[in-house]
Chain A
Amino acid sequence: MNPDLEHRLQAWVDGELDASSAQEMESLVARDPEARALGDNLRLLRGFLQEHEPVRALPETQDFYWSGIRRGIEAEERADRGRESSDPSRETGGRAWWSWVWPAAAAALVLVVISLFPGREGGTAGDLATSSGASSSAKAPAVVPVVGHEIEAPEADGMETVTFYSSQESMTVVWLAHADVL
């Protein structure tokens, strides 16, 4: 069987052929045992792989993972603000006051929703702050622990830090990227 035929047979198995080409393949499979075996094998393998897609667990905790995302978002937003302030053609008067209303309303709504689930007093997902300042979520009094949280982080120049608090483990973590300590 030549490669073109193999590929067309595969396309037939995958439902990628139009009606007339599919008809041709059906005829081929009916008269050619090798083609039929190949078609069966391709179908079997496809089903087998789809049924057993490898599952890979994220090797980081939610705290760490989210802190990286949050840091990236904040860095991009800082870069945006820098670009805006250096571009005189852009509107300089700031956004209209009402542009803040929706985020505030949304945050208030979420707070209300959260208050409906009092069973969890502060898991690990959001007790975060980065070195660029405490996150808005970290200021929520209902979940930020009274003790042990960051007070000030004047880290050395050029050192990237991520700070977060795990209330489950009563642990404040300061992660230092690129630090040469050992």
Chain B
Amino acid sequence: MNTRLFLESLVGMAVLALAARGAVGAEPEGTRLAAQLLWGTNGEKPAGKELKPVEGELDRRLRRVFKWKSYFEIERKAFATPVGKPTKVDMSKECRLEVLNVSGDEFEIQLFGKGVLVVKKRQRIVAGETVVLGGDDKNDNAWFVVLGMAKPGDPARP
């Protein structure tokens, strides 16, 4: 390869690289995820609380994996995850998520409870896959943070 051809190739690659950046720039917000804060119980729905029962496919999947019979949604949020920029999502007064889109479908997920880091995980999330962070709550109940790809109708509420 002579010098001219080499330079032309470099220019060509630079143009392609710029074009690629432009393409990424057309979707600046990155992958949209949805997070749900849920509460699982074998008892009754707590009185006086605005909790929506989890229904449909997610309810069936949770019941097949976990021992609790009923699941209630405390909060649901959909949010964009720009690559390289952490997104903070308050799921409740005490529960916060920080999600960093590392490389398109690979995410670093941090969960904070009462301001303290509880867990940090790297995880691939693609369509159809769900990540569930969970733990025991009082009286043999449990909490869950369910993460997956946002659906088209999910409102953006970071």
Contact = CB atoms under 8 A, between A and B. Distances in A.
Interface of A: 59-61, 63-64, 124, 147-156, 159, 161, 166, 168-182
Number of chain B interface residues as a range? 35 or more
A166 B105 CA distance: 19
A173 B118 contact: no
A148 B124 contact: yes
Contacts of A148: 123-126, 129-131
Contacts, number: 114
Contacts of B116: 156, 180
Given A148-B125, A182-B95, A177 B136 contact: yes
Contacts of A176: 118-119, 133-135
B67 A174 contact: no
Given A147-B126, A180-B113, A182-B95, A152 B121 contact: yes
A61 B65 contact: yes
Counting chain B CB atoms within 10 Å of each CB, the highest count among A64, A148, A161, A166 belongs to A148
A174 B114 contact: no
B137 A61 contact: no
B10 interface: no
A156 B118 contact: yes
A168 B113 CA distance: 30
A171 B135 contact: no
B13 interface: no
A182 B37 CA distance: 9
Contact of B129 (A154, A156, A170): A170
Contact of B120 (A124, A150, A154, A172): A154
Nearest to B112: A181
Contacts of B123: 148, 150-151, 172
Contact of B132 (A150, A153, A174): A174
B121 A182 contact: no
B4 interface: no
Nearest to A181: B113
A147 B124 contact: yes
Contacts of A151: 106, 121-124
B71 interface: no
